[in-house]
A and B are shown apart, each in its own frame.
Chain A
Amino acid sequence: MAERLRRARGSGVVLTCWLVGSVLLAFIVVPLLGLAAVQPVRNLVRVAAMPDVRLAIWLSLLAAFLTAGCAAILGVPLAYVLARGTFGGRDVVAAIVDLPLAVPHTVAGIALLIVLGRQGPIGGPIGEVLGLRFWGTLAGVVAGMLFVSAPYAVNAAQIGFEAVDPRLEKVARTLGMGPWGVLLHVTLPLAWPGIMTGLTLTYARAISEFAAVAILAYYPMTAPVKIYEMFLQFGLEDASAMALLMLLVTLALFILFRGLARRRARFAGAGR
């Protein structure tokens, strides 16, 4: 493998791919650098000192974390079923999982509002029984984030599960372990890199969500909503300062997650 890579590195194919790929890289990096370049540090510090800005960023981080947690609890089992199940309608289920990727997020927000709102068919009973309300609450923020980001968790975890050799699970069974034990001690550790990738993507997607969250839970304001509000109220200068702040926090977290996932992957011996 390494040998092949070494040989390929010198070839024109790789060089061409690098050239073309760097256009996309530049397309991602340049606007973000631009955002940073126009920003006086003084401005950044001033905005960072605003309590409501910090609160919004905190809320975004917390809500995205809770979203990733919900996606893990609810999405990983679904991913397992999709990876292992041979049930009819498997393709339909897979399509449903991917559906949020194709729905405009304003539509997602409105749909969630109808169902989860105080008079909604789900929001009503949940509010009465559990006292949990979605409109204008943290729960609402998480609901909006989960709807748009769950597909990433399910898809990546499914790929993780599919990479686990079923024969290893069979061996574990013959060694005296029941199906739940096998899931816990063999399947999950081996699928871990895929699951972690999925949760990282979910977290990233959740933290960036604006439309669905803004419709279902404008307040308490998450960072993207707050940035939008600052833009409307105080103009580009303050909004872009907060935008940069948000960007730096997210970037730092993302690098941290990737590093964790890679270390865990090496530990789990993903290179089967």
Chain B
Amino acid sequence: MTTAALVIEAACLTLGPFSLRNLDLTLAAGEILVLLGPNGAGKSVCLEMIAGFHRPQSGRILIRGRDVTDLPPEQRRVGLVFQNFGLFPHLTVARNVAFGLRTRRLGHARAERAVVDLLRQFGIAHLAGRSPQHLSPGEKQRVALARALAARPDLFLFDEPFSALDARTREVLRDELKAFLREAGVPAVFVSHDQTDAALLADRVAVIDHGALRQVGTVASVFRKPANYFVAAFIGVENILAGRLLPRLGAMSRIRVADAVLHAAGADDAAGDVLLSIPAEEIGLRPIDGLDALGLCSSTNRIAGRVSEVRSMGALVRVTVDCGFALVACFTPREARALGLSPGQAVVAEVEADAIHILRDQVNCR
């Protein structure tokens, strides 16, 4: 078994009114974890705790099997990249990169050569003598990565490096970063409040809120099966419905929502009020033709309703259907045109049973 890149064991940290509570997190070798949460959730505090700027009051932190709980940041071997990339404005690009070599105590000549090699590797050799202030975001990112890599970190930490960038630049830099991390094979924790970062960068996602982890899992599992109301709402699941569990039917759970009964994959023996999450993109619509059997047909839920709103969101069209409860579906403009949807139209909404997910928390936490 290979050593985990990072293990956080039951870490508790109180900083003024804020506290991280009993944080447990493991990162496999070479894995990219995106720590996702709203502003003030404790993402950055968590990252700075890993980097060594805050010492947990209890619990342990191990980086590649090394207990670093009591070590200062300079001995933890982590590479930290901040928003705007945190380049030293008083040093040239080459001196910035050389900064990361200091600890390796190479001789002067070897250090010079290492800097040149790194600059070349990142395709920024032509910027060596420039001041970082006038670099493009892409160039800044490369300098920051080269500088961090120079110190040979065991773990990369990113604190929202893209949050001040426009959408297009962000996309380009994200791809570049992903390619770099794959190639370098250095594990990374990436803090963000943007689900797109999580979806595109992460091997696994950890959702944090009020200093506690609310769900940790693969991108697919978190996005398709959010564990609770907070996660579902934060990642932007459009349909979070309140319902009541009915006695199950074979391997299916049955939930009454308003007048309809929905079937969800997976038996659930719990009873009472629950919340369901259904991503809008999992809902299909078609005009009602009178011959339709409603209810459950070979693992597909069919619910009759009327279109109440059709709203264009640019690349997507958002359609709200009144089924006794509001159900939101998303289509590409092309699909929407083919369906010819308009308000007042009677439709059948179709949802696969395994796209309906029962949230594991109390209805009243809503």
A binds B: yes
- Contact check, B72 vs A170: say whether CB atoms are below 8 A apart: no
Q: Determine the chain A residues whose CB is within 8 A of the CB of B78 once the complex forms.
A: 174
**Cβ A170 vs Cβ B51 within 8 A:** yes
Contact mask B72-92 → A, CB, 8 Å, 1/0? 111111111111001011100
| B151, A167: Cβ atoms closer than 8 Å | no
User: What's the nearest-Cβ distance from chain B to residue A270, in Å?
Assistant: 8
Considering only CB atoms, which chain B residue lies closest to A86 in the complex? Answer: B16
Q: Which of B98-106, B120-128, B273-281 contacts A (4 or more CB under 8 A)?
A: B98-106
Instruction: Give the number of residue pairs across the A-B interface with Cβ within 8 Å.
Output: 79
Q: Is the CB of B80 within 8 A of A171?
A: yes
Q: Are B74 and A170 in contact (CB under 8 A)?
A: no
Q: Does B26 contact A (CB under 8 A)?
A: no
B74 and A176 within 8 A (CB): yes
Contacts A173-B74, A176-B74, A176-B151; is A269 near B102 (CB within 8 Å)? no
Q: A173-B72, A175-B151, A269-B133 are in contact. Are A167 and B90 (CB under 8 A)?
A: no
Contact present for B80 and A177 (CB under 8 Å): no
Contact of A165 among B73, B86, B148 (CB under 8 A): B86
Q: Which of A170, A173, A176, A185 has the most CB of B within 10 A?
A: A176
Q: In the bound complex, do residue A272 and residue B89 qualify as a contact, i.e. CB atoms below 8 Å apart?
A: yes
Given the complex of chains A and B, what is the CA–CA distance between A171 and B99 in angstroms? 10
**Does B53 have its Cβ within 8 Å of any Cβ on chain A?**
yes
In the complex the two chains form, is B48's CB within 8 Å of A168's CB?
Answer: no
Given contacts A175-B147, A176-B151, are A168 and B88 in contact (CB under 8 A)? yes
Contact between chains at B90 and A178 (CB < 8 Å) = no
CB distance from A86 to the nearest CB of B (A): 10
Task: Give complex CA distance A269, B78 in Å.
Answer: 27
Chain A contacts of B332 at CB under 8 A? none
* B74: chain A residues within 8 A (beta carbon): 173-178
Shortest A272–chain B CB gap in Å is 5
In the complex, whether B195 has a CB less than 8 A from a CB of chain A is no
Please name the residue on chain A nearest to B150 by beta carbon: A175
Chain A residues in 8 Å Cβ range of B83: 167
B131 close to chain A: CB less than 8 A: yes
Contact B88 A173 (CB under 8 A): no
Known contacts A177-B103, A178-B74; is-contact A269 B82 (Cβ 8 Å): no
B51 touches A174 (CB 8 A): yes
CA of A174 to CA of B153, assembled, Å: 9
Does A268 sit at the interface, judged by CB under 8 A?
yes
In the complex, how many residues of chain B place their beta carbon closer than 8 angstroms to a beta carbon of chain A?
Answer: 32
Interface of B is mostly: mixed
Contact with A268, one of B52, B53, B90, B150 (Cβ below 8 angstroms): B90
Interface membership of A189, Cβ < 8 A: yes
Chain A 153-181: CB-based contact to B (< 8 A → 1; otherwise 0): 00000000000010110111111111100
Q: Indicate which residue in A173, A178, A271 contacts B133 across the interface (CB closer than 8 Å).
A: A271
- Tell me whether B73 and A173 are in contact (CB under 8 A): yes
- Closest A residue to B157 by beta carbon equals A174
Task: State the CA gap A190–B91 with chains docked (Å).
Answer: 10
Q: Which residues of A contact B102 (CB under 8 A)?
A: 175-177
- Interface digits, A228-272 against B, CB 8 Å rule (1 contact, 0 not)? 000000000000000000000000000000000000000111011
Q: Which of B73, B90, B131, B133 contacts A174 (CB 8 A)?
A: B73
In the bound complex, CA of A271 to CA of B73 (Å) = 28
* A114 at the B interface (CB under 8 A): no
CA distance A272 to B132 in the complex (A): 10
State whether the Cβ of A110 lies closer than 8 Å to any Cβ in chain B.
Answer: no
Given A177-B103, A269-B131, A271-B133, answer yes or no on A168-B73 (Cβ-Cβ < 8 Å).
no
| A190 pairs with B90, CB closer than 8 A | yes
Q: Mark B116-146, 1 if CB is under 8 A from A, else 0.
A: 0000000000000001010000000000000
Docked complex Cα distance between A189 and B153 (Å): 26
A167 to B86, CA, bound (A): 7
> Contacts of B157 on A, CB cut-off 8 Å?
174
User: Are the C-beta atoms of B79 and A174 separated by less than 8 Å?
Assistant: yes
Are A176 and B88 touching (Cβ within 8 A)?
no
A94 in contact (CB, < 8 A): no
A175–B86 alpha-carbon span in the complex (Å)? 12
In the complex, A87 Cα to B52 Cα: how many Å? 21
Let me know if A139 is at the binding interface, CB within 8 A. Answer: no
In the complex, A171→B73 CA distance in Å? 9
- Write the residues of chain A forming the contact surface with B, with a CB cutoff of 8 angstroms: 165, 167-168, 170-179, 185-186, 189-190, 267-269, 271-272
Closest 3 CB pairs of A and B: A176-B103, A269-B89, A173-B73
Q: 6 interchain pairs (CB within 8 A)?
A: A168-B86, A170-B48, A174-B78, A175-B147, A189-B90, A272-B89
Q: Which residues of B contact A (CB under 8 A)?
A: 48, 51-53, 72-83, 86, 88-90, 99-100, 102-103, 131, 133, 147-148, 150-151, 153, 157
